[in-house]
Structure 1
Amino acid sequence: MTAVLRCSDCLGTDMLCTSCLLQGHEVTPLHRIEEWNGKFFEKKSLKDLGLRIQLGHPRGVKCYWPISAVKDDFVVIHTNGVHSVGLDFCGCELAEQTSQQLLRVRWFPASSDKPRTAASFAVLKQFHLLSFESKVSTYEYYNALMRMSDQVGKVERKERYEQFLRITREWRHLKMLKRAGRGHDNAGIEATQEGDCAVLCPACPQPGRNLVAGWSIAPPEKRWLYGLFVAIDANFRLKRKTVSSDAADPGLSRGWAYFVEELSYKSYLKDYLNEPQPKSSCAGHTAVNAADSKSTTGLAATAIGTVDCARHGFKLPCGVGDLQKGEKYVNMDYLVFSALRSFAPLQVLKVSYDIACQWHKHLWERMKRVPDMWHIDQTSKDITFLVPKFHLPAHITECQWLFSFNLVRGVGRTDGETPERAWASINPAASSTKEMGPGSQWDVIDDHFGDWNWKKLVTLGPMILRKIQEAIPERNEHREDFTELTESLSSKYPNLMSSWEQQVHEWEYDMTKPNPFEVKVAEVTMAGIRLQLAKDDAIAVSDSNQPPLHGMVTPSILIDTGIELEDQQRRLIVEAAKLGEHATDTQKAYLQQRANALKRRMDAWAKIQLLFIPGVASLRDMAEESSRIASSDLLQRPETFPLLLPSAIARRVACDQALEQMEWKFREGQAHDTLNELRQALRSQSYMLKFKDRFIRGQGANTRAQNCLKNVDAKVRATAAKYRAAHHALTVLSDLLGKVGWKHILRPLADEDIRSMTQGVDDSRSEGRRRLSWIWLVCGYSDSHVENEDDAGVQEAIRIEWCRTRTRAYCWTEEVDLLFEEQERILRFLCWHATWWRDKENAWTVNDPALQEGLRAYAERQATIRQDLKRTFEHMWRNMRQFLNIADEGLQGVDSVDILQH
């Protein structure tokens, strides 16, 4: 026979005859064949070539009583297309059912009675995974398979979309039951309880599974470690149109996974859904105020609500449900109490909700509506309501103090935003799920949430590792900041510090007490800022018009005046830069007059300087010679005239050490006073920015505010330059005089250090990661501070920042403790779950040896998966305890990076 056939799916491009090709494809009947017609290759099916598939017998064994599948084609949906096959079922006396024969060859039948369509396990696995990762719909995937079979419509189309839709839904459901161990229960699938098929969070506290003995009698300071963190949210992308009905399309799971049991839920809503909802007393939350007015035209469900694990992002069992009229309390109450029923023994509960400030009001009264077995004894539990960090700024100021994750103890670094991260994964599926009937949508979303939870579970190891590697250094850094700030303030405000400590302690344990984070003193006004700037300018002008020095001058006056002249030089440079290219004659004349006055003062001071440091004459002669060679007027311009203070001389000529000591003292005082001035300017700048954003409207007002801001910015830059000059002089003098220790207090001033109390190194750093700039940790030096630090407004700002610095240190400390506790809980849970699966091996004894062996094999495989995960996580975390011990001991010279890598 002529070799004119080839297979597109086999390895290579060998040409075969019909007989050889059929013989080689007895076990691969779904390959695609091409035939050479003398001009090109055209598609040919194995059925057309005479291949018939015999089911119910081993390979090569013919059935004596074969039963043809159907009179026309039997269709099999496979990963490479939709195929018509010639199929014979076994008709022997002991033959299995036709559906069972199909399952034996890993083909899933579309019906149990006289099936005419089947889908291979391979295509179902592929579609199942793609639906999770790419959110491809059944319709899109099936059409892609049809195009793989025929792109031009030459072959008669065998439409099996409805059958494939049914098969995929059954496949999802059976996979969920199988993975939950329901096939190992001798009571059957009907014995499945609500929530039994959900993938649980190993890191959350689960009594009887992963909590250490004695957890319920832990001391109060440790009880928060065994608390549950839940996050509530609604997703308005996951709506559903009015398609089909509950009777025509019921859900298959009936509350077995994440959606609540639908009949009980609908019965509850029937009684309470139409009750009006109280309006919000906080900011204009659409979720609250628009709940009764939400448009429901053409929609059976406007959204879904969920209850998640707030720490790890798992969907909680029986915590998902449809919303019919927006985000109404009546819906969310039911979902929350339904999800919390399996955590009843826990004593500590942290609840995160973007409208928690409104929702928690009268919650315990509304609890009476849900089934009695779900009720919570709130009087015996420590329950805290919080608002997610990203949503909190939209609330009024009072809510930002009372419901903040950043201010409350016992939450670590939890942010409450985990539902938002899950929405990013499920939202692409909304375009297909909104067109489904009620049961189909519930089953599909249940399946997606199950996959989401499983992916979260297998990645808990690297997630916890990454968080610990981040949390321990952050904890140490914020502890150092808090300790340094506390020591600095204790020397200045010894009496106030004790009262601040007492106030914050009282508020943490009783939030009805005065809030230490609340601003109680009126802030400065913009008019006050303008007045202060005007006073600064007046002082600068009056200083520049002082008469030349004369008479008897002491060394201290000489050095003090020289430092003052140096400051006048910097101011003159700034004023000259402001003129620009198009300055008026009046402006130029005013600047020239200031320069002349400064030049006269400098000339007088320089003559007196010669009496104390004669050698400066030779240094100036050298500078004058260099100026003539460079054709520069260096010595003629007052802003560049070399004053040659002891720090600038650096003992190039003889200089009395007493003068160096005097300059050191003046420079140290100048540095501290300049830092005080810089802090005041930054506070003014911060207030003005907030004031402008909140209250300034209109071009004229914005222009005036912008001009005021420019003046403050200039003040900040000038003050920074003044400090840097003082620091440079101190650096030089410290080498000459042998001064040590001062650099730990007066540090080099980098651009990133010049920031307000409430500003981090960069805008991307959140409140919990923000570190205070060192300039706020230095106490004032002289008695003539630029700012009055006994002023109530200054003390208020310092008190609030001290409280926030303290809270950041405590939050990172709690985060470390919580992460190590979660590590242990994960390992205990995986160990418990492996044991649970092994108990399932012999939980159901059947007469069929093959089925019994399959039950045992699957249970052992699942137990091994949990054990492998446990070993992987243990190996991944093996050095974390050592890393923590080294951080706690504060050992020097140990590279923590080496520990993490080995």
Structure 2
Amino acid sequence: MRSYRRMGAKTRYISTCTGLSAVDHANTKFSKGYDATGVGAVLCARHEFWLAQGVGDLQKGEKYVNMDYIFVCAMREYLVVNQLVSYDIACQWAGGLLERITKFPSHIQIPIPEGSISYVIPKLHYGSHIQEGHSPYSLNYRLGAARTDGEGIEHHWWWIQPMASSTKVMGPGGRQGCLEDQWGYSNWCKIVDMALLFRKRLRAARAAYAEQKASFDALTCSLSKENVIKWEAEVKAWEADPYNRDDPYIVVNQGLTELETVHDLAVEEQKLSSVTGFVALHEISLLGFMKMGLELETTQARLKEDAKKATAGKTSELLERRTALCRKVQKFRELQAVYIPQALPIIVETEACRTDVECVEDIRLTLLSEINPAHRDTKYKIKNVRHQGPNTRTRTEISKYENRKLRAVSQYRRARRAKLALSGPGDWKQEFRVLRDDDVRGLEDDDPGAVAQRAKRRHDQSKVGPAEGRQQMSWIWRASDSSSNSGIIDSLCVEWLKSRARVMCWAEECKLIPEEMRRVLASHAYEENAWFSRATMRSLVDDRLHEGLVAYAIDQAYIRRALRRKFRAVCAEVVQASEGTLLGSEWQEVEGPEVDLESSSLDDEAAYELDGEDLEPEQYA
């Protein structure tokens, strides 16, 4: 393997996605003098068990050659089942993986049936990737994934990190033995705590499914039946072949953005100016005048916001900004005389329009939308376009750019008032509703009431941010399609699809966890029987050694029996409530085989009973 590793040592992989530091830094990590700069590992994404043969050293970052080798070694025991492989750079790493494996030495290669592996990106890492075309890699939309997040490996890196400094000075054998002991202990802790984990997960899944189902049904009822049928057909076709169909989970902007609006108006103005006999009214065009008015509105809002929290040290800076703004307003007044002469009497007669004041941010600009319809100039055609509010990216970015969000809210409210003044009431009000503070949240943000409830339960305000699977959509992303004349509203379609995916994931979770519980019981029973059989396997040994082997085997068998009893006692009630039917044979009180201690030369049978150190009864209360 070392020779193959040297062959790929100089191979460089160029990232075609965003945020893939594992690719970008694969050849830049300092490694002089080190046999290993870290480890790569393969875990069970569902239950976070370290897999046998699933850990290997890295020599210089996460190079493909290392990760491919570790993946192949771990997968040798799982070739009979389909695999859903989660990796934070899966969109890059998956391409060419099977071809790279064919270049391995023959004794390492594994036969991977075509189509038996699917690739996804862990949920937390997914946000760092480009969104277009990446929905097939999202665990939120993957059929059969339930509520798996794929981030178990990150949890374990954090847990094992304190050992890193200790292993730096160890020899290869001591280092590997130390790490394997830690990982083996981690797996055992998982086995012991499975009853509590599954009970907690099943209760949470049932509650979340009921909540998401109610939200989804309410949203579906508010939509036209034709749209729902069409959207469902499209997403099912995508689920059958996600890599060769258009991504239905990407929002397609239905309205014109600000840049598109400016471009269209510029083209229109250029056509008008090319007509014979056209005379420009001013060196600044009508489009330039409109842009100046909107920019002044934004500048005023920002200055007003900063003035409220300005300290004594910021007074001079605030004064300079007000002076600059005043000059711009005076220039705007000059253009108003050219393009909106009917505004001049209002400006002269209205005290709030005066520019010789200290707080320039409070000056009334007297835009066209602020003028009474009776006073508007009818010789100019004003093109009204839909305002498209800025999309927030993530909850973290919202907190970092809180001021930007507030300015956007103010801009939307001004635009809505302008629309109402220019067009009057109409069907457009069904889509552009009055915006309350609680309505202002991104697609990934939850309802403030639900967030507060979770904060109260968790007693930790820093961990109440909602995940995709628990979203409750704000009305700003639910523009009604009942009166739309322009076809399907893309953003509403995407949100309906996401709501549907959330319901499906929680429904799968409610079905998968009881099956996982049954398999845990079956595994404990199998292990119990296996240890009992091992107690009498080695009879042709020294009596004292034989006594020790039997004692150890029976001790291990009783531990599995105790685990099975505790698991059944902790989880039976919640499973019964979830399934609503009689439980299978694994849940019945059936004891495993016993060992004939008479033939084992053992005098004290009580010595082989579980001493209780591995299981604390109060944990399961």
TM over 0.5: yes
Alignment of 1:328 onto 2:63: yes
C-alpha contact (below 8 Å) 2:446/2:473 kept by paired residues: yes
**Per-residue deviation, 1:863:** 0.6
Structure 1 residue 382, shift from structure 2 partner: 3.3
Q: Tell me, in whole angstroms, the C-alpha distance in 1 between the residues paired with 2:31 and 2:292.
A: 58
* Residue number in structure 2 paired with 1:764: 465
Query: CA 1:588–1:335 in structure 2 vs 1: closer, same or farther (change >3 Å)?
Result: closer
Q: What CA distance in whole angstroms lies between the structure 1 residues aligned with 2:536 and 2:62?
A: 46
Distance in 1 (CA, whole Å) between partners of 2:524 and 2:97 is: 35
Partners of 1:277 and 1:329 within 8 A in 2: no
- Name the CA distance, whole Å, in 1 between partners of 2:85 and 2:542: 50
Measured at CA, do residues 585 and 349 of structure 1 come closer, stay the same or move farther in structure 2, by a change above 3 Å?
Answer: closer
Which residue is equivalent to 2:92?
Answer: 358
Task: Tell me the residue number matched to 1:297.
Answer: 32
1:77-226 alignment, distance < 5 Å: none
The offset of 1:384, in angstroms, is: 1.1
Alpha-carbon distance, 1:425 to partner: 1.1
| Structure 1 residue 487 displacement after superposition | 2.2
Q: Which residue in 2 is equivalent to 1:507?
A: 238
> Mapping of 1:650-661 within 5 angstroms?
none
Question: Contact 1:503–1:514 at 8 Å: present in 2 too?
Answer: no
Q: Letter of the aligned partner of 1:484 in structure 2?
A: A
Residue 834 of structure 1 aligns with which residue?
528
Aligned to 1:269: 5
Q: Distance in 1 between matches of 2:362 and 2:250?
A: 50
Deviation at 1:359, TM superposition (A): 0.8
2:215 is the alignment partner of 1:481: yes
Is residue 478–residue 492 contact of structure 2 (8 Å, CA) maintained in 1? no
Deviation of residue 497 (structure 1)? 2.7
Name the amino acid aligned to 2:486: D
The match for 2:411 is 711
| Contact 2:39/2:55, CA 8 A, preserved across alignment | yes
Measure the CA separation in 2 of the matches of 1:775 and 1:886.
39
Q: 2:191 aligns with which of 444, 454, 457?
A: 457
SS at match of 1:280: coil
Q: Distance in 2 between matches of 1:865 and 1:440?
A: 29
Deviations 1:225-278 (A, max 9, x none): xxxxxxxxxxxxxxxxxxxxxxxxxxxxxxxxxxxxxxxx546535x3425133
Name the SS of the counterpart of 2:501 in structure 1: helix
User: For residue 490 of structure 2, what is the aligned residue in structure 1?
Assistant: 796
Whole-Å separation in 2 of the counterparts to 1:376 and 1:489? 50
**1:467 aligned to 189, 201, 220, which one?**
201
Secondary structure of the residue aligned to 1:369 is coil
Q: Describe the shift of the 1:280–1:757 C-alpha distance in structure 2 as closer, same or farther (beyond 3 A).
A: closer
Aligned residue number for residue 519 of structure 2: 825
Matches for 1:71-82 after TM superposition, within 5 Å: none
In the superposition, relative to structure 1, how do residues 847 and 363 fare at CA in structure 2: closer, same or farther (>3 Å)? Answer: closer
Q: Which residue of 2 aligns with 1:208?
A: none
Q: Is the 8 A contact 2:15 2:24 kept in 1?
A: yes
Looking at structure 1, the residues matched to 358 and 74 of structure 2 have their Cα atoms a distance apart, in angstroms, of: 72
Indicate if the aligned counterparts of 1:307 and 1:315 stay in contact, CA closer than 8 A. Answer: yes
User: What aligned pairs does 1:728-767 form with structure 2 within 5 A after superposition?
Assistant: 752-753=438-439, 755-761=441-447, 762=451, 764-767=465-468
> Aligned partner of 1:821: which letter?
E
Which deviations, in whole Å up to 9, do the C-alpha atoms of 1:648-702 show, x marking residues without a partner? xxxxxxxxxxxxxxxxxxxxxxxxxxxxxxxx87xx3343x569x99xxxx9xx9
1:685 aligned to 379, 384, 389, which one?
389
The Cα of 1:833 is off from its aligned counterpart by: 0.7
SS for the counterpart of 1:385 is strand
CA contact (8 A) 1:341 1:374 kept: no
Separation (CA, whole Å) in 1 of partners of 2:42 and 2:214: 37
Moved more, 761-770 or 467-476: 761-770
**Pairwise CA RMSD:** 4.2
Structure 2 distance, partners of 1:299, 1:876, is 48
Is structure 2 residue 237 aligned with structure 1 residue 517? no
> How many residues are matched?
451
CA deviation map 1:745-781 (0-9, x unaligned): xxx9986455454432257101111122467668578
For the Cα contact (< 8 Å) 1:279–1:288, is it kept in 2? yes
Q: 1:371 to 1:817 in 2, by over 3 A?
A: farther
SS at 2:84 equivalent: strand
Structure 2 residue corresponding to 1:871, chosen from 554, 565, 569:
565
Pair 289,780 (structure 1): closer, same or farther in 2 beyond 3 Å: closer
SS in 1 for 2:76: helix
Distance 1:461 1:479, change over 3 A: same
Partner of 2:126: 392
Gap change, CA 1:716 and 1:768, over 3 Å in 2: farther
Which amino acid is 2:230 matched to? S
Equivalent positions of 1:342-357 (< 5 A) are 342-346=77-81, 348-357=82-91
Structure 1 position 303, deviation (Å): 1.1
Contact (CA 8 Å) 2:37, 2:60: kept in 1 or not? yes
Return the letter of the residue paired with 1:296: S
Deviation of the 1:351 alpha carbon: 0.3
More strand by percentage: 1
**Alignment equivalent of 2:75, drawn from 304, 323, 340:** 340
Distance in 2 (CA, whole Å) between partners of 1:756 and 1:295 is 40
**Distance (whole Å) between structure 1 residues aligned to residue 551 and residue 361 of structure 2:** 97
Give me the whole-angstrom Cα distance separating, in 2, the residues matched to 1:318 and 1:334: 10
Give the alignment's TM-score, normalised by structure 2. 0.64
Q: Aligned letter for 1:844?
A: R
Partners of 1:835 and 1:885 in 2: CA distance? 28
Aligned match of 2:588? none
2: CA distance, partners of 1:444 / 1:377 = 32
How far did residue 509 of structure 1 move? 1.2
TM-score when normalising by structure 1 = 0.45
In 2, are the aligned partners of 1:393 and 1:400 still within 8 Å (CA)? no
Q: Deviations over 1:12-69 (max 9, x none)?
A: xxxxxxxxxxxxxxxxxxxxxxxxxxxxxxxxxxxxxxxxxxxxxxxxxxxxxxxxxx
Q: For residue 375 of structure 2, what is the aligned residue in structure 1?
A: none
Q: Secondary structure at the match of 1:831?
A: helix
2:40/2:58 contact within 8 Å kept: yes
CA contact (8 A) 2:413 2:435 kept: no
* 1:446 equivalent in structure 2: 180
Distance in 2, matches of 1:534 and 1:485, equals 39
Q: Find 1:814's aligned residue among 508, 513, 518.
A: 508
Distance (Å, rounded) in 2 between the aligned partners of 1:790 and 1:757 = 25
Contact conserved, 1:320 with 1:335, CA < 8 A, in 2? yes
Q: Is the 8 A contact 1:313 1:418 kept in 2?
A: yes
Structure 2: stretches of 5+ with no match in the other structure: 263-289, 295-350, 373-385, 420-433, 452-463, 582-619
Say whether the 8 Å CA contact 2:254–2:490 is kept in structure 1.
no
Amino acid paired to 1:415: D
Aligned residue for 2:610?
none
CA distance in 2, matches of 1:780, 1:279: 43
> Is contact 1:356–1:387 with CA below 8 Å preserved after alignment?
yes
* 2:56 equivalent to 1:370: no
Asked if 1:316 is matched to 2:51, the reply is: yes
2-structure distance, mates of 1:294, 1:585: 52
* Partner Cα separation in structure 2 for residue 589 and residue 831 of structure 1: 79
